[in-house]
Amino acid sequence: MTRSAAYSNILGRLSHQSVVKHFDAYADVPWDHPDYRIDATDARWELDENDVLGGTEWYRTQPREIRSRLGLHGIVTQMKLGVEFEAILSQGLLQFATSLPNGAPEFRYAYHEAIEEGQHSLMFQEFINRSGLEVRGMGGVDAWFSRRVPSIARSFPELFFLFVLGGESPIDYVQREELRKRDALHPLLRRVMQIHVTEEARHLCFAKNYLLENVPKLGRIRRFQLRFRTPIIFAAMAKQMLEPPKALIREYGIPSSVVREAYTENPVHRQRTLDGLASVRKLCFQLGLVQPRWWRMLGILPEGEGDARDAFDDESGVRRLGPPRPTSVPTSSRRLPGVVRACPRSWVQPLSA
């Protein structure tokens, strides 16, 4: 397999970063410090009024203990989902690694990532155990589907890494927003999220660069499959990651009118979903995987985005460039090739620098 110099350089940087900047679930989190104790009645677990559910009148009129407990239960539920998602991911990464020839640099990085996901799952499960709250994992169709994902990493790794991005991007977005906006975060939650977003930045960077390197080399049928399946995966994963499961709704007796007000019919929640997928949407435009009508039907493409200037040539998969669109990417980094733009700038210097 031939690799571009930029991609090889990023792989080297990512593996190096995994050695010099990694965390241990127990050595790097002071679980037994009194300030890190979890108390379900602690007011710091309460959802604030900017949260889509926390801003509803129903939530604000609940007793204070219930508001705190529900806030903590939502966090714990997401962590359980995280443990299950990371288990699928790790199985897939190991299958992907075993499909590689000797000497492939992806092998080493895939193992670094699987080890990091193991540490994250240890952190999440320890948090769940210490919360004292009961939380169940996936069931039904979701569990059936997820058992089939790891084998895709071997047979169709490009689809697998798009699945990875579909799960990791919305959660990464939410955790970064929480860290940025909420001063009164419980120190244990802050520590767990800080560790997670630091290492997830590498995982997202690898998945994006793997796709930028390999999707253009695929044939027409595989590209068609990606164009059809990717938005379905993104829509399903965003819903799973950003909305409360039925078990939580039942346990707290959240009325269906409140669920509609907070989630299904709330433009703020819709915008949050779109924002959570913004970086992967941009990547898919770059890869020529966006069919605007299909994406819009699934509710993951903002109005006005994906018009004629975003069309792609079906034969070559190369973007037919239209007029430049406004972008939030700083002018200086727009000059970098796409494969490099997906990573922090400090990671794209040559290893010898």
* Min separation Cβ 196 and Fe ion, Å: 6
Over the window 142 to 171, marking each residue x when it contacts Fe ion by CB under 5 A and - when it does not, the resulting string is: ------------------------------
DSSP 83-135: HHHHHHHHHHHHHHHHTSPTT-HHHHHHHHHHHHHHHHHHHHHHHHHHHT---
Identity of the residue, 47 or 193, whose beta carbon is nearer to Fe ion in the bound complex: 193
* Min separation Cβ 149 and Fe ion, Å: 14
* Min separation Cβ 50 and Fe ion, Å: 25
DSSP 146-192: HHHHHHHHHH-HHHHHHHHHHHHHHHHHHHHHHHHH-TT--HHHHHH
Question: Pick from 185, 187, 193: which is nearest to 34 by CA?
Answer: 187
Question: Which residues are registered as beta bridge partners of 319?
Answer: 312
Q: Where are the beta strands (DSSP E) in 177-282?
A: none
For Fe ion, the binding residues in 230-259 under the rule CB under 5 A are none
* Min separation Cβ 168 and Fe ion, Å: 5
Identity of the residue, 112 or 186, whose beta carbon is nearer to Fe ion in the bound complex: 112
Phi–psi pair at 287, nearest 5 degrees: -85, -5
For Fe ion, the binding residues in 168-227 under the rule CB under 5 A are 200, 203
Identity of the residue, 124 or 295, whose beta carbon is nearer to Fe ion in the bound complex: 124
Selected range binding Fe ion among 8-16, 117-125, 234-242, 244-252, rule: CB under 5 A: 117-125
Identity of the residue, 40 or 179, whose beta carbon is nearer to Fe ion in the bound complex: 179
Residue nearest to Fe ion (CB): 203
Please tell me whether residue 120 binds Fe ion under the rule CB under 5 A.
Answer: yes
Q: What is the contact surface with Fe ion in residues (CB under 5 A)? A: 117, 120, 200, 203
